[in-house]
């Protein structure tokens, strides 16, 4: 159901916490019952400008203030701003529902992403902690999509294959060309990547001789793993949860 205009009486029928209005008088009311958000626009009779309050349904069944803005000069601008914010909330809710479609890929993982697009990356930018719940193969697809946006040509290797190169990424231009093998490890927040994985990826690197090998993980690396990687620091890069968060800030 799209955003709809409602009456003041309808608005008052929603279970919400009261909020101070000061010298403002409510003039318009809106609702989107599909995503459980409501909003009201008010005119401040003292300053003669406009503002709005957006409320969202909480788990206890009560609507609470989720967004508020004041000092909007124009009535139409206030309406456009509020309805735009409500549309953004509805869109984010739709994305989250799609992300949480369970058991389509791996019953052990709660998050399934059917297509990696900018909206998905925006979602993880806002909720990086959800990376820990991603299906491992979809995590590989997310990293591949980010690398593609960074200018790499991308090849995802077979899902059943192990051995230090989940993603083959390459860049070729008039100056040089580079081939990188990327190993992706979707681990829990408290998991530490140890020297074993460093040595495995290093072995594949020396066997197949790409320009660079990269390990990308939602976890972090142990001190021993970091020291081991320094032995071939020109050939091996380590990227942890914080690095992924920095990548996602572009979305």
Residue 133: give its domain's CATH number. Answer: 3.40.1350.10
Residue 112, in any domain of the structure: no
Give the closest residue to 56 by CA, choosing from 33, 37, 69, 81.
37
Q: Using the predicted structure, report yes or no on whether residue 114 has a pLDDT greater than 80.
A: no
Do 136 and 185 fall into the same domain? yes
Residue 227, in any domain of the structure: yes
Tokens describing residue 198? 């460093």
Residue 176, in any domain of the structure: yes
Count CA atoms closer than 13 A to 5's CA, side-chain side.
5
Q: Is 48 helix (H, G, I), strand (E, B) or coil?
A: coil
Residues above pLDDT 70, as percent of the chain: 87
Residues 6+ apart with CB under 8 A from 139: 131, 184, 186, 218
Residue 106, in any domain of the structure: no
* Euclidean distance between CA atoms 210 and 214, whole angstroms: 10
Q: 186-236, pLDDT tens digit by residue?
A: 998 888 999 999 999 998 898 889 999 999 999 999 999 999 999 998 999
Q: 196-210, pLDDT tens digit by residue?
A: 999 999 988 988 899
Residue 218, in any domain of the structure: yes
Mean pLDDT of 10-16: 94
Instruction: Name the average pLDDT for the chain.
Output: 86
| Count: domains in the chain | 2
Residue 223, in any domain of the structure: yes
* Euclidean distance between CA atoms 242 and 146, whole angstroms: 15
Mean pLDDT of 1-25: 86
Do 206 and 129 fall into the same domain? yes
The alpha carbon of 149 is separated from its chain's Cα centroid by a whole number of angstroms, namely 15
Q: Using the predicted structure, report yes or no on whether residue 152 has a pLDDT greater than 60.
A: yes
Residue 212: domain span: 118-248
CA angle 176, 179, 182 (to 5 degrees): 145
Do 181 and 145 fall into the same domain? yes
Q: Using the predicted structure, report yes or no on whether residue 107 has a pLDDT greater than 70.
A: no
């Amino acid at each position: 159901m799209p955003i709809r205009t409602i009456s003041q009486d309808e608005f008052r029928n929603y279970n919400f916490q009261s909020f101070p209005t000061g010298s403002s008088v409510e003039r318009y009311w809106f609702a989107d019952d599909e995503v459980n958000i409501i909003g009201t626009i008010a005119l401040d009779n003292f300053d003669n400008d406009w503002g709005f309050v957006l409320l969202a349904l909480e788990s206890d069944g009560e609507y609470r203030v989720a967004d508020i803005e004041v000092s909007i000069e124009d009535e139409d601008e206030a309406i456009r701003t509020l309805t735009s914010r409500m549309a953004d909330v509805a869109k984010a809710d739709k994305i989250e529902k799609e992300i949480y479609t369970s058991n389509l890929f791996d019953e052990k993982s709660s998050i399934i992403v059917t297509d990696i697009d900018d909206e998905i990356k925006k979602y993880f930018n806002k909720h990086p902690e959800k990376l820990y719940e991603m299906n491992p193969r979809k995590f590989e697809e997310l990293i591949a999509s980010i690398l593609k946006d960074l200018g790499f040509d991308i090849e995802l290797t077979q899902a059943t294959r192990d051995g230090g190169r989940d993603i083959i990424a390459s860049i070729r231009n008039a100056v040089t060309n580079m081939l990188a093998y990327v190993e992706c490890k979707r681990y829990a927040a408290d998991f530490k990547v140890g020297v074993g994985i460093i040595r495995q990826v290093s072995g594949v690197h020396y066997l197949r001789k790409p320009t660079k090998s990269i390990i990308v993980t939602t976890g972090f690396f142990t001190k021993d793993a970091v020291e081991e990687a320094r032995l071939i620091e020109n050939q091996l890069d380590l990227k942890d949860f914080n690095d992924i968060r920095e990548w996602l800030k572009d979305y």
